[in-house]
Structure 1
Amino acid sequence: MTGIEWTEVTWNPVTGCDRISAGCDNCYALVMAKRLKAMGSAKYQADGDPRTSGPGFAVTMHPAALDIPRKWRTARLVFVNSMSDLFHAKVSEDFVRSVFQVMADTPQHTYQVLTKRPMRARRLAERGLVFPPNVWLGTSVENSATTHRIDELVKVPAAVRFLSCEPLLGPIDLDRFLLPESCPDGCACRYPDDAVAFDCPCTGACVGWSPNPAIGWVIVGGESGPNARPMHPDWVRDLRDECTAAGVPFFFKQWGGRTPKSAGRELDGRIWNQMPKAGATWTAA
């Protein structure tokens, strides 16, 4: 089991990573890897580059861990590589394909793959990597400077594409990713029935128009730990409101802070635990 609110278990056929953006500055996995190395854990004995990684956190593939999901007797919601990034350049293409084969062979489980490197995921998909229907693909987006990752994510044919806006370090506008840019008629309308509201001179194609979001789920959370950077409540509210308007599930994980449990998870008096529906599929904008 795991303490991560939006999943049930973690599976780490790969460990280790390298920091590439501001959201990585206080990486929990890097701190944990150092601790696990000191405890003698066999998976965390290789050290990464001290400029971007750290003790016990070198990118390492673990073939012996591949078959773990095959041994689970009951269906599970699985966070893949909570201690790494499956699409890191140092993870071989063959090994990525081996992980995907295990996921395809165990359709009873639902797999959540989260990456800061969606460009590689897109390129592998173009090279024939098949995303099974039980695999969700997400990318981390911490501020407006990292929304370019979403542009790559929406090009990947995953059954559910999701965002982890954690740690949320600044405002993010997801509007253009949650609904298409314009109606099928090519007019200026942005949402269904805008033609009625704004008297748009189109043929009426946007009346009753029901687009599918390019993003199927949004997770938001503040940074935790002794060096936690503050998160403005309005950044969270804006994302919630955009998701609500687009009908996209919204999950608020935590306010964060040095002791995140004390701050809780309530947003405007409510716990937001929305998840994608089973079997949901989403199309690119």
Structure 2
Amino acid sequence: MSKIEWTERTWNPVTGCTKVSPGCKHCYAETMAKRLQAMGAPGYENGFKLSLVPERLNQPLQRRKPTMYFVNSMSDLFQDGVPVAFIDQVMDVIRATPQHTYQILTKRSGNMRDYFLTRPVPENAWLGVSVEDKKYGKPRIPDLLAIEAKTRFLSIEPLLEGLGRLKLKGIHWVIVGGESGHGARPMKEEWALSIRDQCERAGVDFFFKQWGAWGEDGKLRNKKANGRTLDGKVWDMIPTVAMA
């Protein structure tokens, strides 16, 4: 099981990554990968350097129960260095397991767009991009919208500034959250509320994941103390999944 609130399990046929934008500054996956390397965990022999783990490709095939998988929580499937042939293998597994739903999130939106220019998106694959700020995050949205996918989503976490108006036509789900961990940057309530309001007007499912290390009152605490309540409510909408 996964501790990530908006999924059920993680599937990591690729591990390791490189930083490409401000949202990567305090990468939880990098910290975790180094811990797993120190523990001698399989797949993390190289720490947070890009590594293909082909022996994990068949993991979803061994599970019959319909499951929501977050693909590569410890990496980015569309980063430079992941061979197209390996991405093809990942997609083959996704197509071979229609009972599952796969959430694929990237910061390399251009690479994902180019990959699917000549390939259909599996029906059970949700495609998403990270949108942490205006300069790096918002330009990823048009790349996502250019892909013919059944379900598209935005992961606005960590939310680092007010984003202004968002292009939500064609987006089905938006996740918002603050940053946690050492050195966490604060998220202002009005930033999150603006996104929530836009989602409500556009009929887009909205999921508020966490406040992170900073509370809505602007005080630094810890993640557990700050919780998931926004404007007096827990927002945990997820698009409806029609399982086989």
TM-score, normalised to structure 2, is: 0.94
- Larger mean CA deviation between 256-265 and 135-144 belongs to 256-265
- The answer for the alignment partner of 2:232 in structure 1 is 269
1:260 to 223, 233, 238: 223
- The answer for the alignment partner of 2:42 in structure 1 is 42
The residue type equivalent to 2:77 in the other structure is L
- The answer for the alignment partner of 1:184 in structure 2 is none
- Distance in structure 2 (CA, Å) of the matches to 1:91 and 1:167: 25
1:214 to 162, 170, 174: 170
- Distance in structure 1 (CA, Å) of the matches to 2:144 and 2:206: 18
How far apart are 1:73 and its partner, in Å? 2.2
The residue type equivalent to 2:157 in the other structure is E
Matches within 5 A, 1:1-285: 1-46=1-46, 56-126=47-117, 128-145=118-135, 146-175=137-166, 177-178=167-168, 213-257=169-213, 259-278=222-241
- Report the structure, 1 or 2, having the larger strand content: 2
How far apart are 1:130 and its partner, in Å? 2.0
The residue type equivalent to 1:227 in the other structure is G
8 Å CA contact 2:157–2:177 kept in 1: the answer is yes
8 Å CA contact 1:97–1:129 kept in 2: the answer is no
- Distance in structure 1 (CA, Å) of the matches to 2:101 and 2:138: 26
8 Å CA contact 2:212–2:222 kept in 1: the answer is yes
**Are residues 75 and 174 of structure 1, via their aligned partners in 2, closer, same or farther at CA, if it must alter by over 3 Å?**
farther
How far apart are 1:172 and its partner, in Å? 1.1
The residue type equivalent to 1:242 in the other structure is Q
Q: Per the alignment, in what secondary structure is the counterpart of residue 42 of structure 1?
A: coil
Q: 1:147-205 CA deviation, whole Å, 9 max, x = no partner?
A: 10111111111111100000000011344x12xxxxxxxxxxxxxxxxxxxxxxxxxxx
- Distance in structure 2 (CA, Å) of the matches to 1:172 and 1:163: 13
- Distance in structure 2 (CA, Å) of the matches to 1:173 and 1:158: 25
- Distance in structure 1 (CA, Å) of the matches to 2:115 and 2:64: 31
Q: Per the alignment, in what secondary structure is the counterpart of residue 43 of structure 2?
A: helix
Q: Per the alignment, in what secondary structure is the counterpart of residue 29 of structure 1?
A: helix
TM-score, normalised to structure 1, is: 0.80
Q: Per the alignment, in what secondary structure is the counterpart of residue 234 of structure 2?
A: coil
Tell which structure's C-alpha radius of gyration is larger. Answer: 1
How far apart are 1:276 and its partner, in Å? 1.1
Q: Per the alignment, in what secondary structure is the counterpart of residue 230 of structure 2?
A: coil
Structure 1 stretches lacking a partner, 5+ long: 47-55, 179-212, 280-285
- The answer for the alignment partner of 1:181 in structure 2 is none
Q: Per the alignment, in what secondary structure is the counterpart of residue 144 of structure 1?
A: coil
How far apart are 1:129 and its partner, in Å? 2.2
Q: Per the alignment, in what secondary structure is the counterpart of residue 184 of structure 2?
A: coil
Q: 1:83-124 CA deviation, whole Å, 9 max, x = no partner?
A: 000001110000001000000010000000000011111111
Q: Per the alignment, in what secondary structure is the counterpart of residue 44 of structure 1?
A: coil
8 Å CA contact 2:64–2:99 kept in 1: the answer is no
Identity level (%): 50
- Distance in structure 1 (CA, Å) of the matches to 2:62 and 2:80: 29
- Distance in structure 2 (CA, Å) of the matches to 1:129 and 1:36: 35
How far apart are 1:37 and its partner, in Å? 0.6
